[in-house]
Amino acid sequence: MTTFTMDDLMSARGQTVYSSDGEKIGKVEEIFVDEETRQPEWIGLGTGFLGGKRVLVPVVGAQMQDDGITVPYGKDQIKDTPDIDADEISQETEQELYAHYGLEYSERRSDTGLPEGSAGTASGRKRGTADEAELVRSEEELQVGKRDVETGQARLRKWVETEPVEADVELRRETVRVEREAIDQPVSGAELGEQEIEVPVHAEEAVVQKETVAKERVSLEKDVESEQKTVKDEVRKERVEVEGDQKR
């Protein structure tokens, strides 16, 4: 947690103040201090916020950033803070403020003083020295979630390729042979001379035809596999220390 000194907050005047959810809620215009210890207690947001309403936010839990100050309260909670009309915070008003921001209030505490640097002197009661002080320490926790993202694409496609094939087939063919038969009876019309006859000879030959035949059905399916993965990051933690003379 950031520990603010008066010099820190005085130099922060005019800087932007952000809520816990990062919304801009105004600018630092006043610093309310403890009249006895002169330690900063409240940050005053000026008239430029919420239609001119004066708004106070506790210094406790606030963090100094490069672009301004971040307080650990939401914009709606700050918007509903009790009205502050005077330049000095009464004990009753301070109790309301503590209750509004969920802070523990000690009855030993009295009024907070004037805004640092404002005109006039403190006219209210001085705050007694508190026997104890407390603040809220916060830290970041790593919250790991999951989301579904596309890591690639799978496509199912087919193409045609040519390959040689063989098939055995049995073919028949006609052959010619000479058969001789003796004639023991007279044949009419027998003549001596040359003669030629033709006899057709047949043979089978292979005929090739191709037919497209469905062989199998192919589909694309997805399976889900789980794996353990370690996520690493850095988290911030507020540390608490005591400053000043602790001797009695």
- What pLDDT, in 10s, does the model give residues 136-172? 888 888 888 888 899 999 999 999 999 999 999 999 9
Q: CA-CA-CA-CA torsion for 106, 35, 4, 81, nearest 10 degrees? A: 60
| CA proximity to 138, closest of 43, 236, 70 | 236
Mind listing the pLDDT tens digit for each residue in 188-233? 877 888 889 999 999 999 999 999 999 999 999 999 999 999 989 9
For the entire predicted model, the pTM comes to 0.42
- Residue 31 gets the label, from left (phi > 0), alpha (psi -120 to 50) or beta, of beta
Tally of residues, the chain: 248
Q: Report domain extents, the chain.
A: 1-144
- 2, pLDDT greater than 70: no
Contact by Cβ (8 Å): 233, 142: yes
Please determine, looking at this structure, whether the domain spanning 1-144 carries the CATH number 3.40.1280.10.
no
